[in-house]
Amino acid sequence: MRTIIRVEPRRDTLTARSGAVRRQNEGMTQDDDLPTFTAEQIEQQLAELTFDSFDQEAAYALGTLAAEIVRERGFALAVQIVIGDHIVYKAALGDVEEGTTEWLRRKSNVARRDGVPSLLVRRRAEALGEKAAEDADHAPHGGAFPIVVDGTLVGTITGSGQPDVVDHDVVVSALRSYLAN
């Protein structure tokens, strides 16, 4: 079952320009600070953000919560949740760019392959002074987070459309909020 939601952008939207998040409001533009995450912080998030169970209803609830966070923040961003090999939730909010679906797929593939957030793969490579390997099927950029149930990876939640640390932050915020309730 696929759920696709298209939400129209707010008048005050955020778009990525020059590696920063920029707020556009009636011609006025301001740069916002991007969030930062160390490998250690991401590893802590991975340890904390796990589930007792996760099914399509949970995916819909989590995806809807992520979409609301995106809308509240005024971002143009797509959210996708995969269980196994099936896309069970997908929403494009605001004016997401062409190619975002491919970014969602490639980021999700990294989290599925490595069992860790896609941003953590990049941070670990950077800590070694290397660049994380990227190919047509894998994009080690922030935004994909594994959905883990009792130590088993069952799927991913992925955000894409803003700088990768913002994508990661939105996904983590949605996971924290969902798991707190």
* pLDDT tens for each residue of 76-121: 999 999 999 999 999 999 999 989 999 999 999 999 999 999 999 9
What pTM was computed for the model?
A: 0.82
| Distance in angstroms (rounded) separating the CA atoms of residues 95 and 98 | 9
Tell me the pLDDT tens digit for each residue of 25-66.
333 233 468 999 999 999 999 999 999 999 999 999 999 999
| Domains, the chain, ordered by start | 4-33+50-180 (3.30.450.150)
| Distance in angstroms (rounded) separating the CA atoms of residues 23 and 87 | 31
Sequence-ordered list of residues with C-beta below 8 angstroms from that of 152, at least 6 positions apart, any chain? none
| Distance in angstroms (rounded) separating the CA atoms of residues 50 and 58 | 13
